[in-house]
Structure 1
Amino acid sequence: MASANFLPSEDQFLCSVCLDVFTDPVTTPCGHNFCKNCINDYWNTNNQNMCPLCTKVFFSRPELLVNTLFSGMVSQFRQSTQQKASSSSSEQQESRPGEVPCDVCTGTKLKALKSCLVCLASYCETHLEPHLTASRLKRHQLMDPVENLEDRMCLKHDKPLELFCRTDQTCVCMLCTVLDHKMHNVVPLKQECEGKKVELQKTEAETQEMIQKRRLKIQEVQHNVKLSEEDADREKAEGVQVFTGLKESVERKLNELITTIEEKQRSTKKQAEDAIREMEQEISDLMKRSTEVEKLSLSEDHLHVLQSVQSLNIHHPPPTKDWSQVSVPPASHEGTVRRAVSQLEGTLSNMMKTLVEVEMKRLQKFAVDVTLDPKTAHHYLILSDDGKQVKHGDVTKNLPNNPERFTTCICVLAKQSFSSGKFYFEIQVKGKTEWFLFLGVVRESINRKEEITWRPEDVYWTIDLTNGNKYIAAADPPVLLPLKSGPQKVGVFVDYEEGLVSFYDVEAAALIYSFTGCSFKEKLLPYFCPGHNDDGINSAPLVITPVGVN
């Protein structure tokens, strides 16, 4: 608040009510100066005629006089301040959207440098100067410019929110700590803010980690889409090539079939035409002889008749073919189409084998290292030390009945499980007369304490050899597989997302069977059942072999 000593201090020219440069300054009887509107509003609000500075009470509202000298000094100070503001405004930045404007600037609003929590106003560089020079204003609390300064005041006590109540998790003022929040755990805003900043930094680090993971996942998805597009383009190109070749092969076989039939028909037709031409020639010769004979028989010239008869040699007709033994049967085309289709079938078979060979080479890149899990093995089974072979031992072993172990079905699972993507492995079945029950993959939740039935119910996807010559896919109903010869090594391929399980005869490069449209909802595990020993007849082990090694 300014005192009336007229010293050339900027503090003298600030109204103690509005804390700004005097506007229409007036003097009270006690000698203090105020803005005319400020002192009148003060008296109207308090319903008491009292000086805001010395608290002297006037029994009636006094007459407010204008101190001419002081008013002139204020006018000069205001003009000087405006000149400074005018000269410095060109150097200061105009407030832009999103920035806090100066509350004092009229016309063009300049960017605020600080906000005052006491004045509840924001100031540009020029209008901030009194807070930096006036001793009384230096005690005000300044901060980086913010909007809505009213929100930083306690609504109940009209004091700055300087503290934080940890008990109620809210910002409070000094009066709150002795009234509404007495005995609560209260700390300065700065202390609580530093703790929150540590939490924010941790949250930011976690958020950045989540962002990075998602960016990596986006890259992975984009990479997979690119691979999918490349696979699709390759498959389309291969399909076009294969079906173009197939179409050309069919057209070639069709042309060969038509050519064969037509050539046979032409041969038959030529044979018939030659016979007809020869017979027509004989008919012509015979008709000529018949005409001569008839002419002679009607002649009255006896000498001519006798002489001509000798030359005709009527007792010896001209040589002719015995056509009774000659036959030109219609051409037979029975079996021609079947033989052509059979040849085409052979071509298709070779083409299919080539395709499967290419397909299996591609599957090898999804090869996984599979080892048997002894914790799941039935007590009759014998596993190799490396976990790559299993056979029936005929002798029960004393093993713990842990939850993972099969106790009824004589089988064992792999240690590895798969819940996404594609995987491929190979099993040697050479020398096996039966695999009873299964070979393939099963769901992790398969019941390991009961007998497995033929109904898969989305639990297992396997093939089975029984009685040494019957190959069956464990579908519903079971599918008898028409294999001409038993495989020596079986490849198993699974595409989790596609719902596909395929079995291959590795050496013959032939597809044995595929389960399609499967619904995989949990982990899958490779599954092996070597069958009973059968007095040594079926003693050969199932062997997990390295992929691509014969």
Structure 2
Amino acid sequence: MSAASCLRSEDQFLCSICLDVFTDPVSTPCGHNFCKNCINEHWNSNDQYLCPMCKKVFNTRPELHINTFISEMVSQFRQEAQQKASSSSSEQQAAKPGEVPCDVCTGTKLKALKSCLVCLTSYCETHLEPHLTASRLKRHQLMDPVENLEDRMCMKHDKPLELFCKTDQTCVCMFCSVLDHKTHDVVPLKEEYEGKKAELGKTEVEIQEMIQKRRLKIEEIKHSVDLSEEAADREKAEGVQVFTALKDSVERSLNELIETIEEKQRTTEKKAEDFIKELEQEISELKKRSSEVEKLSHSEDHLHLLQNFPSLKAAPPTKDWTKVSVRPSYKGTVVTAVTQLEETLSKQKNKLLEAELKRVQQYAVDVTLDPDTAHPNLILSDDGKQVNHGDVKKKLPDNPKRFKCYADVLGKQGYSSGRFYFEVQVKEKTDWDLGVARESINRKGNVTVSTDNGYWNICLRNKNEYKGFNNIPVVLSLKSRPQKVGVFVDYEEGLVSFYDVDAAALIYSFTGCSFTEKLYPFFSPCPHDGGKNFAPLIICPVNQTE
């Protein structure tokens, strides 16, 4: 058999047994031509000596001789083919790493143009030509070049895998379909290919939709970053303004303190100077009297001494200096200045809190209580804005959303993004719980209210004990009893804040939270305690603070 395929398209130069260009062509008595080895091997493997082409049977094995005419023609064609192949090879590119090489090329392997599923061989443009021109080879199935063509053959029957078993979801050959997969749902490979291709089309659409969603998410995140940057700039500007004002206040207070102290020092110095002048004047008078007394004491004139003695014996009139002192007191000066500064800072802080409350009130939402979640002991108003605890446990449908163990109720509206705010009147109540809860909280069993369990709440107990329900409850110290509580949530920021609306004061904040599902407003009016805590929780319309 020949090791290389000829590029000529004439069928008469191809052996019908090996489908290759003649090697040592011989002619049978019936006039057909074959490669010498091909026809000998054919007869050696059969009991009869028959022509593979016309099926003529010879009683005795014919003696075969080389057909010199055909041999010369084949030699000529080989030379022409070699010249053409050499010329074509120079124009074609060698196979690069990752590309399928031609299995027939010797020396430099050219890039394969097609693979034959019958020959299980890959061909470059030159060696592919017989498959495009020879009638017998045209029937072979060609495809884009692939490696490992042996993988496309049935390992058991050595036949092409041209069918697909839908039962076992595997490729099979024709023998497999009638033996191992006889009762299975087997279809042509092309049919399953078309179906799978359609599925891949749908998958591709879904993937593109997923890509688009993620691109939109990227844009959303970028937009959030832009908004965050703008908010950061605003916050920095406000911070610079506030702290500049605070700095100015501190500097003014310091200057006033220094001026006060210096004024006291100046007053002290003036007072001391006046005392010193007065003392020096008295010293001068006393010196004068001392001189007169000394002079009189040395007089020998008895009459003169006796006459002047009464006026000189008594000391001149002077001030009692025993209780006079210069002791300036600066005690409390700094404390007073700091107290005044604290008052100034407190006023500034209140202004900031008022501005903060006014800002979050812009995100007010209309909250309505959800009767499907309300515990049977709770009494809801017709408009869904009020709830209190009753004595009678109502018979209600066992709704999966309803609280069973604790007298709680949720709002109808859930939020999974953005910011929202609502206000609740807690006036005249001694116990209550307020906040937000995630959708998946345990509504049927006993559960500890905490952030780990999906609650971000604060509460009042025993009239004046306020707590934040973190994983470890936090005791809250409030200056006044809130009459109306504002609840603000920033989903993306992971923030839940509570405000005393009337005092415009921050009560408590949960920060750094991670929200992954819907959040619902949460309310618990708590047991009425014999009527002491019967007042309802009331969802109020939000009136922005002035």
SS at match of 1:375: coil
One-letter amino acid of the structure 1 residue matched with residue 505 of structure 2: A
- The answer to whether the Cα contact below 8 Å between 1:101 and 1:111 also exists between their aligned partners in 2 is yes
- Per-residue deviation at 1:279? 0.6
Q: Cα 1:292–1:370, aligned 2, differ >3 Å: closer, same or farther?
A: same
- The answer to whether the Cα contact below 8 Å between 2:289 and 2:312 also exists between their aligned partners in 1 is no
One-letter amino acid of the structure 2 residue matched with residue 166 of structure 1: K
Hey, what does 2:500 align to over in structure 1? 505
Q: Cα 1:453–1:178, aligned 2, differ >3 Å: closer, same or farther?
A: closer
| Stretches of structure 1 lacking an aligned partner (at least 5 in a row) | 3-7
Structure-2 separation of matches of 1:342 and 1:217: 52
Structure-2 separation of matches of 1:532 and 1:400: 21
SS at match of 2:432: coil
Structure-2 separation of matches of 1:58 and 1:176: 39
SS at match of 2:522: strand
Hey, what does 1:27 align to over in structure 2? 26
- Per-residue deviation at 1:343? 0.9
Hey, what does 2:361 align to over in structure 1? 364
- Per-residue deviation at 1:496? 5.8
* 2:80 counterpart of 1:80: yes
SS at match of 2:81: helix
- Per-residue deviation at 1:491? 0.6
Indicate which of 518, 523, 529 corresponds to 2:525.
Answer: 529
Structure-2 separation of matches of 1:52 and 1:318: 173
Structure-2 separation of matches of 1:395 and 1:479: 30
- The answer to whether the Cα contact below 8 Å between 2:27 and 2:67 also exists between their aligned partners in 1 is no
SS at match of 2:435: strand
Structure-2 separation of matches of 1:90 and 1:296: 152
Q: Cα 1:481–1:398, aligned 2, differ >3 Å: closer, same or farther?
A: same
Structure-1 separation of matches of 2:397 and 2:167: 55
- Per-residue deviation at 1:461? 1.7
Hey, what does 1:437 align to over in structure 2? 432
Indicate which of 310, 333, 337 corresponds to 1:336.
Answer: 333
* 2:400 counterpart of 1:386: no
Structure-2 separation of matches of 1:453 and 1:188: 62
The TM-score normalised by the length of structure 1 is 0.77
Show the 5 A alignment for 1:194-273.
Answer: 194-232=194-232, 234-273=234-273
SS at match of 1:438: strand
- The answer to whether the Cα contact below 8 Å between 1:268 and 1:328 also exists between their aligned partners in 2 is no
SS at match of 1:346: helix
Show the 5 A alignment for 1:143-162.
Answer: 143-162=143-162
Indicate which of 466, 471, 480 corresponds to 1:472.
Answer: 466
- Per-residue deviation at 1:414? 1.6
Structure-2 separation of matches of 1:367 and 1:528: 21
| Stretches of structure 2 lacking an aligned partner (at least 5 in a row) | 3-7
Q: Cα 1:448–1:101, aligned 2, differ >3 Å: closer, same or farther?
A: closer
Q: 43-52 vs 68-77, which deviates more?
A: 43-52
Q: Among the aligned pairs, what percent are the same residue?
A: 60
Structure-2 separation of matches of 1:362 and 1:84: 85
Show the 5 A alignment for 1:97-496.
Answer: 97-232=97-232, 234-291=234-291, 293-295=293-295, 297-298=297-298, 315=312, 321-324=318-321, 327-377=324-374, 383-390=380-387, 399-400=395-396, 402-403=398-399, 412-418=409-415, 422-429=419-426, 432-434=427-429, 436-442=431-437, 445=441, 461-464=457-460, 470=464, 472-473=466-467, 479=475, 481-484=477-480, 486-495=481-490
SS at match of 1:371: coil
The TM-score normalised by the length of structure 2 is 0.78
Structure-2 separation of matches of 1:370 and 1:65: 105
One-letter amino acid of the structure 2 residue matched with residue 529 of structure 1: P
- The answer to whether the Cα contact below 8 Å between 2:366 and 2:422 also exists between their aligned partners in 1 is yes
One-letter amino acid of the structure 1 residue matched with residue 498 of structure 2: F
1:382-408 alpha-carbon deviations (Å, 9 max, x no partner): 54443223457x785855263555678
Q: Cα 1:278–1:208, aligned 2, differ >3 Å: closer, same or farther?
A: same
- Per-residue deviation at 1:371? 0.6
Q: Cα 1:367–1:159, aligned 2, differ >3 Å: closer, same or farther?
A: same
- The answer to whether the Cα contact below 8 Å between 2:353 and 2:505 also exists between their aligned partners in 1 is yes
1:283-337 alpha-carbon deviations (Å, 9 max, x no partner): 134324423542464467x69x969x98x99549997542348623522233323
What is the Cα-based RMSD across aligned positions, in Å? 4.7
- The answer to whether the Cα contact below 8 Å between 1:370 and 1:416 also exists between their aligned partners in 2 is yes
Structure-1 separation of matches of 2:449 and 2:48: 104
One-letter amino acid of the structure 2 residue matched with residue 355 of structure 1: L
SS at match of 2:523: strand
One-letter amino acid of the structure 2 residue matched with residue 27 of structure 1: V
- Aligned length, in residue pairs: 531
- Per-residue deviation at 1:135? 2.4
One-letter amino acid of the structure 1 residue matched with residue 428 of structure 2: T
- The answer to whether the Cα contact below 8 Å between 1:435 and 1:531 also exists between their aligned partners in 2 is no
- Per-residue deviation at 1:176? 3.0
Structure-1 separation of matches of 2:121 and 2:533: 99
- Per-residue deviation at 1:190? 0.9
Structure-2 separation of matches of 1:461 and 1:14: 90
Q: Cα 1:466–1:19, aligned 2, differ >3 Å: closer, same or farther?
A: same
Hey, what does 1:5 align to over in structure 2? none
Structure-1 separation of matches of 2:82 and 2:449: 98
Structure-2 separation of matches of 1:187 and 1:446: 52
Structure-2 separation of matches of 1:511 and 1:487: 11
- The answer to whether the Cα contact below 8 Å between 2:103 and 2:122 also exists between their aligned partners in 1 is yes
- The answer to whether the Cα contact below 8 Å between 2:408 and 2:522 also exists between their aligned partners in 1 is no
One-letter amino acid of the structure 1 residue matched with residue 396 of structure 2: P
Structure-2 separation of matches of 1:115 and 1:193: 18
Structure-1 separation of matches of 2:128 and 2:450: 86
SS at match of 1:400: coil
